[in-house]
Amino acid sequence: MKSVRIQGSRRTSRSSFIVTLKRNKWLLLLAAPATIAVILFSYLPMFGVVLAFKRYNFTDGIFGSPWSGFDNFKYLFATRDAFNSTINTVYLNALFIVFSLLGSIVVALLMMEVRNKWLVKSYQSVLFFPYFISWVIVGYFAYALLNYDTGTVNRLLEAAGLDAVQWYTKPQYWPAILVLVYVWKNVGYFSLIYLAGMLGIDKEYYEAATMDGATRLQQIRKITLPLLVPLITIMVLMQVGRIFFADFGLFFNVTQNSGALYSTTDVIDTYVFRTFRVLGDAGMATAAGLYQAICGLILVCISNWLVKKVNPDNALF
């Protein structure tokens, strides 16, 4: 009796599944190509992380190579490089977040004060321009400014009676240079997002404040910034979630991948790349990548949990 009933419900659930499938067949078909691409290029490589626990050799392949337990991780954390690149990644990304946030909010606030539509558009275009340039070209720009013999910065230093600096061999200057380059490239993009947020604020608040005799600065402090807090929170938390992942192009091209600078410019991504492509150690590079991905995943989950507390609508999942 009992089993018959279960069988019956199973049958109806199966047939209802087929009905839903049929009803959604066109939408499923539309989603299929992209889903296949994602399976192929994002999910299949996830199985490859077993390499982190293997002593990889080319002839046996990924699944045939002998297991090595946690040896790769032991080697990884035994070197100073892994520690150094983790510190650099987190430290520099934190600087990027703070300075790009401050810069882009200031720029957005300034843009709000420009009444001339044509001028707003022009400023926007010019400030947005660096976002469109590839990191290779940004590397060329940096080279034009910083190279020892003909670089503009050294020429200016000499004109001011100071000594020229070998920028590409002096690691102590690079955190500042990288922050400047990062902010330069991204501030236009971020400021546009904040500007869009500011334009969404109800004009009536400002009208009422003006009636009460509030100055522009007071309006910014009491109206614009407080109302922008949710957007700022979301943007910052999204960046914090990615803090273990560096912008490979920035660290690889702008520094000319110069070994002399690694102490302050080597990040996990460049370290993984070098371990794999230069040293050829697939196992350890996978281990470093897995370590990075797991740290990232944990941080994203924490960030998402925080976003949910601030504003559930903006949570990723």
Partner 1 sequence: MSRKTEWGRGLVHLTLLLLAVVCIVPLLLVVSASFSDETAIAEYGYTIIPKSISLYAYRYILSNPSQIFSAYEVTIIVTIVGTALSLLISSCLAYALSRRDFAYRRGFAFFIYFTMLFNGGLVPSYMLVTQTLHLKNSLGSLILPYLIVPWFVLLLRTYFSEIPEPLLESAKLEGAGELRILWNIVLPLSLPAIATVGLFIILMYWNDWYLALLYLDDSHKFPLQYLLYTIMQNLSAIKANPMPGMAIHLPGENTRMAIAVLATGPILFVFLFVQRYFVAGLKVGAVKG
Give every CB contact of residue 225 below 8 A, 6+ residues apart in sequence. Answer: none
Distance between CA atoms of residues 103 and 288, nearest Å: 33
> Does residue 297 belong to the site contacting partner 1 (CB under 8 A)?
yes
Question: Does residue 129 belong to the site contacting partner 1 (CB under 8 A)?
Answer: yes
Phi/psi at 54 (5° precision): -125, 160
Nearer to partner 1, 223 or 290 (CB): 290
Give me the least distance between CB of 208 and partner 1, in Å please.
Answer: 19
Q: In three state form, how does the secondary structure of 22-66 look?
A: HHCHHHHHHHHHHHHHHHHHHHHHHHHHHHHHECCCCCCHHHHCC
Closer of 7 and 309 to partner 1 (Cβ): 309
d(CA 46, CA 38): 11
Query: Is 280 among the residues that bind partner 1 (CB under 8 A)?
Result: no
Nearer to partner 1, 94 or 126 (CB): 126
CB under 8 A: which stretch of 1-9, 78-86, 92-100, 108-116 binds partner 1?
Answer: 108-116
Site for partner 1 in 171-230 (CB under 8 A): 184, 188, 192-193, 196-197, 199-200, 216
Q: Is 132 in the site for partner 1 (CB under 8 A)?
A: yes
Shortest distance, position 229 Cβ to partner 1, whole Å: 14
Calculated CA dihedral for residues 268, 271, 272, 277, nearest 10 degrees: 160
Q: Is 98 or 315 the residue whose CB approaches partner 1 more closely?
A: 315
Residues in region 18-57 near partner 1 by CB under 8 A:
20, 23-24, 26-28, 30-31, 33-35, 37-38, 40-49, 51
Is residue 234 close enough to count as binding partner 1 by CB under 8 A? yes
Site for partner 1 in 134-173 (CB under 8 A): 134-137, 139-145, 149-152, 154-155, 168
Calpha distance 57→48 (Å, rounded):
14
On the 0-12 / 13-18 / 19+ scale of CB atoms within 10 A, 288 is buried
Q: Closest Cα partner for 119 from 127, 202, 216, 183?
A: 127
Collapsing DSSP to helix, strand or coil, 311 comes out as: coil
**Beta carbon nearer to partner 1, 7 or 222:** 222
Compare residues 74 and 277 and give the one whose CB is closer to partner 1: 277
Q: Which two tokens stand for residue 163?
A: 């000594």
Compute the least distance from the CB of residue 291 to partner 1, in Å: 9
| DSSP H stretches of helix in 160-224 | 174-199, 203-211, 216-219
264 in contact with partner 1 (CB under 8 A): no
Give the binding-site size for partner 1 (rule: CB under 8 A): 98
CB 76 within 8 A of CB 288: yes
Minimum CB–partner distance for residue 152 and partner 1 (Å)? 5
Residue 240 found at the interface with partner 1 (CB under 8 A): no
Rounded distance between C-alpha atoms, residue 240 and residue 97, angstroms: 8
Our finding on whether 250 is near partner 1 (CB under 8 A) is no
Does residue 67 belong to the site contacting partner 1 (CB under 8 A)? no
Give the interface segment with partner 1, choosing from 3-11, 68-76, 78-86, 295-303 (CB under 8 A). 295-303
- Cβ atoms of 171 and 265 closer than 8 Å: yes
Structure tokens at 67: 């297991």
